Amino acid sequence: MSQTDASNVDDENSPRLAPVVYAQPPLEELRRRFPVSIHPYYIAQRRFEPIALCEGVPGVHYGSAGSAPVEVDFKRILLIGRAWFIDELLPVIDRNHLRLAGYEELLCYDEKYSLEKRMYPLIAPGSTLRWNGRRYVPYVFDDGGGGRLGLHSLGRPLTSGTRILVVPK
């Protein structure tokens, strides 16, 4: 897809590897890592569930915080030109043999590459949280005041400049 009408999967030569533990961290850890702002739904101890496209992924076993980490090679998709809905991007992601990253993957990636959220919001739509009949996906960003952990409603488009975190299938 061209830059004028779609998104591009980054093709940096250097790998973006990070160890991932497939367990949702306790609230105390989230408060330590995102001292400026954590969306209130996280504080309410809501749980993220993998979306259907990300269920049953080989090598991904959800467990506890003591689970062994798995080394994951991350990619990012740059949204440009206009606002995008996640469903519009699924063919690009699939064609590149990728899948949407989930909540745990986003947190582990952000822990290793924490400066990246200062340049642009980074979203992981591979898992959702349900609240009041709506579905939300996690994202991280830093607007200069410190790291923030937010939620994006799946009913709203993503703005140009946002990066979607994806991983190989």
pLDDT (tens digit, 9 = 90+) per residue, 68-121? 777 888 888 877 778 888 888 888 888 888 888 988 899 989 988 888 888 889
Residue 7 lies in a domain: no
Q: What is the pLDDT of residue 124?
A: 92
Residue 94 lies in a domain: yes
The total number of structural domains in the chain stands at 1
Q: Which 3 state secondary structure label does DSSP give 163?
A: strand
Residue 89 lies in a domain: yes
Q: In sequence order, what are the residues at sequence separation of 6 or more whose Cβ sits closer than 8 angstroms to the Cβ of residue 88?
A: none
3-state secondary structure 56-93: CCCCCCCCCCCCCCEEEECEEEECCCCCECHHHHHHHH
Residue 143 lies in a domain: yes
Please choose, from the candidates 126, 112, 121, 103, the residue with its C-alpha nearest in 3D space to the C-alpha of residue 46. Answer: 103
Which residues constitute the domain of residue 142? 27-59+74-168
Residue 18 lies in a domain: no
71 has which bridge partners?
19
